[in-house]
Chain A
């Protein structure tokens, strides 16, 4: 029932937070009625997630998940990355770097290419996927705004260049995870990871040929102002 409710909320285009919250409440009610658990267990599952005790290690590994602690690794890393980005931004260290990088960037295509190059370099130099998304995001946010580009273009550039290139780098945490899980080094599967290359290539083609590069004035109501972000 809870997944169905979430799917209905998505179909009705309900905002994400109320939609997920309704799903959580439905899950808690279902657990209370059908699984005969008490309120304390539901609250604990909300924090620590579900712990499977089937006796089969593989099934337990698959089913033990969720809760606030389950997401804390990525959330805390994102907060710390934002902390680093915030210090660099407020003390103008980021601005100095971006200005140097953007001296030759005059077109939308070049800006997209610069974003992609920064994401890939971040994945190689700061070997953590989340940092290679958050840091270039903060670096280029104003540049996109100044060029009149909707922030979703930056979001797409970060996803296309930051997310998908991280598993190609053996010393990146994504590459290391795959090596640890599958036992093969990224150098072995890199030549066949066409999706990871083609996504970056598609991003560049779209950027240089101005395909689906939405302008702020096309969807002004969907763009938050800086003062709204800092409130």
Chain B
């Protein structure tokens, strides 16, 4: 019985996650002067969506 291989994201997927976090942090902190907590949670959400797209 073979084990199910874990999906592997590409470098582009990883960069999209980081890039979206950078954008949402920059907009919230620099433009709206918010605390970093919620933008960071939004970044986590984007990273989760990328993970779902990859196959997790």
Contact = CB atoms under 8 A, between A and B. Distances in A.
Given A93-B50, A126-B21, A127-B26, A80 B44 contact: yes
Interface in B6-56: 6, 8-11, 13-15, 17-18, 21-22, 25-26, 29-30, 35-37, 40-41, 43-44, 47-48, 50-51, 54, 56
A87 B51 contact: yes
Consensus secondary structure, chain B interface: helix
B8 A83 contact: no
Given A76-B37, A96-B8, A171 B17 contact: no
B29 A93 contact: no
Contacts of A96: 8-11, 13-14
Nearest to B18: A97
A73 B37 CA distance: 9
Give the size range of B's interface with the partner: 20 to 34
Interface string A31-69: 000000000000000000000000000000000000000
Consensus secondary structure, chain A interface: helix
Nearest to A128: B36
Contacts, number: 74
A68 to B, nearest CB: 16
B11 A84 contact: no
Interface of B: 6, 8-11, 13-15, 17-18, 21-22, 25-26, 29-30, 35-37, 40-41, 43-44, 47-48, 50-51, 54, 56
Interface of A: 73, 76-77, 80-81, 83-84, 87-88, 91-94, 96-97, 100, 125-128, 131, 171, 173, 176
